[in-house]
Structure 1
Amino acid sequence: MTATLPRVDTATAAAVKRRRRPLGWLAVVPLLAFTAVAFGVPALAMLDGAFTAKDPATGAGSYTVDNLTASLRGAYLTALLGSVKLSAVSAGIASVVGLPLAQAVVTSRFRALREAVLTASGVLANFGGVPLAFAFVATLGNAGVLTRHLGLTDKGWDLYSFWGLVIVYLYFLIPLMVLTITPALDGLRSQWREAAQNNGATSVQYWRHVALPVLLPSLLGGLVLLFGSAFAAYATAAAMVGSSIPLVTLQIADALSGNVLVGQENVALALSLDMVLVAGLVMAVYLPLQRRSARWLA
């Protein structure tokens, strides 16, 4: 006697899946609601303000692109370009310095050293704002300990300059690069190095033809991430240099507080929209690079 297997009704199974699917989405509703309130409402308010101008006489509002036009002219454009320049230089230096540091950590035989460096990097990558500015002012400022001890002022050192701000930014960008690139370095397989050595390749040739091409998406992704982090930084620069170095975040704060011209709040919102667009371009570059890197290092 031949046993017959129960036949699965595909229509019934599909109906069951359709009934279960809405229940799964219910668990995501609180997160979606929080995202809509915390991010969506401010974004809509920023968009509305960036395209709104008020008549000084009547106080009536009307939609216009004058705010966006003003945000791309004069001192505002200089500040935007200054932030882009500062972020690009800081991110580039941090990427170049952070890669060999991360490689030294990954190849270290001492597990305690690796854990200590990664833990310290996690702390330093989130250490910024006024405390960081105060630490550098007390150490390398005009009356700082190292400045007076080493006579740096006579050698032309100025912490409150573009390059001084770059050095301060490197304090948290280099640890961030170490954290970002370490998983990619862990993904490099030892078989690749062994195969290269068996074919007569030197260490330089291995890095040039094997490791760096594989790491390139992760390196570029880390560079973009560092750029975005430096581009959005505000408190450290505000506490250190004030308005002596044109930065878009400082211009937004001045416009909102009325330190430059009264009634420039909507121009500040237009500057914020410019920052969002730059950040969007950054993420548009970063996400495809991350996906491509994940395919190689999976």
Structure 2
Amino acid sequence: MGPALGLAPFLGYLAVFLLVPTIVVLVGAFSDNGRPSLNNIETLFSSGVLRTLWRSVLLSGSTAVIGAVLGALLAYAVVTGKPDGLLRRAVTSACGVLAQFGGVTLAFAFIATIGFSGVITERVRDTFGFDLFGDGWLFALPGLILVYTYFQIPLMVIVLLPTLDGMRPQWREASESLGATTWQFWRHVAGPLLFPAFLGSMLLLFANAFAAYATAAALVSQGNPILPLFIRSALTSEILLGRENLAYALALDMIVVVAIVMTAYALLLRRTAKWLT
């Protein structure tokens, strides 16, 4: 009974911030005007919602891949240095801050840098006569990909560093003693061990980008290029009057996608943990 009481605060936290909101979303998605209905679920298969879902998947997938590759390279460069060296402390501290640097602040930073009157935009325009801002790509899907990648890379470093630290030097020494080259070590030993962790970290980045809202909301004031902004429109738009429950259905759609991704992440993490613990 004692250990169970120790879990009570955590279970209460899960109930208030995860279980109850999920139940509210589930009930709201299958109701309309206070009555059970499948209208909102059927709307999820309309062309407009499917296009928005595809753009959300494209945004999350592309930033996950870019962030995972660049973040893995940076994490490997850090882990090859001294464990208590200045480089590692500086990089991990910076990544811890930048991974949480989002929302309105991040959007304003990019607008002030490469927006229509941004510092770099003005400098490039005056020096080379080239309009870096172009037709407003920063406020469309390409701009979201660039901005999201900014916080995906440091997040990948934080997530992958413990796995890289779990690589034992004895494995490299054993490979070299058997005549293996560096490529053969990574191809047959380190690669298969790290690949599940790498994929799992990429899935975590996908879920992180898929659920992000504040940065996109600050950048995109018109249109609904991704699902979180579509939910905002369903709740606040003067065009979709009486369709508030559509927001619940869209949120349920996101919950399903994130649940699938996080389940795959947990399975990959379990497979890696038995080798690297």
TM-score higher than 0.5: yes
- For 2:89, the aligned partner's letter is E
**1:268 maps onto 2:247 in alignment:** yes
- Counterpart for residue 71 of structure 1: 44
Single out whichever of 242-251 and 262-271 deviates more from structure 2: 242-251
Q: What code does the residue aligned with 2:156 have?
A: M
Give deviations 1:234-269, integer Å, cap 9, x for gaps: 111111123346100000001011343101110010
Name the % identity. Answer: 48
Alignment partner of 1:81 is 2:60:
no
Distance 1:259 1:178, change over 3 A: farther
Flag the 1:196–1:146 CA change in 2: closer, same or farther, 3 A.
Answer: same
Q: 1:147 to 1:154 in 2, by over 3 A?
A: closer
Distance 1:255 1:78 in 2: 16
Q: 1:123 aligns with which of 89, 97, 113?
A: 97
What's the offset of the Cα at 1:141?
0.9
Q: Does 1:222 align with 2:196?
A: no
Deviates more, 1:240-249 or 1:261-270: 240-249
Q: Residue type matched to 2:131 in 1?
A: T
Distance change (3 Å), C-alpha of 1:221 and 1:36? same
Map of 1:58 onto structure 2: none
- Asked if the contact 1:94–1:177 (Cα under 8 Å) also holds between the matched residues in 2, the reply is yes
Counterpart of 1:284 in structure 2 is: 263
SS of equivalent residue, structure 2 residue 139: coil
Q: Deviations over 1:174-208 (max 9, x none)?
A: 00000111111111111111122222222222212
Q: Name the amino acid aligned to 1:145.
A: V
User: Tell me, what secondary structure is at the counterpart of 2:107?
Assistant: helix
Cα RMSD for the two superposed structures? 1.7
Change (3 A) 1:48 1:78: same
| Distance apart, 1:154 and its partner CA | 5.6
How many angstroms apart in 2 are the aligned matches of 1:73 and 1:185? 44
Q: Are residues 211 and 140 of structure 1, via their aligned partners in 2, closer, same or farther at CA, if it must alter by over 3 Å?
A: same
Q: Name the aligned partner's letter for residue 24 of structure 1.
A: P
Question: Would you say the 8 A contact 2:63–2:149 is kept in 1?
Answer: yes
Aligned with 2:116 (options 142, 145, 161): 142
Deviations 1:266-295 (A, max 9, x none): 001000000000011011101011111111
Contact 1:221 1:290 in 2 (8 A): yes
* Letter paired with 1:131: T
SS of aligned partner of 1:159: helix
| 8 A Cα contact 2:113 2:121, kept in partner | yes
TM-score, normalised to structure 2, is 0.93
Partner of 2:131: 153
Q: Name structure 2 gaps, 5 residues minimum.
A: none
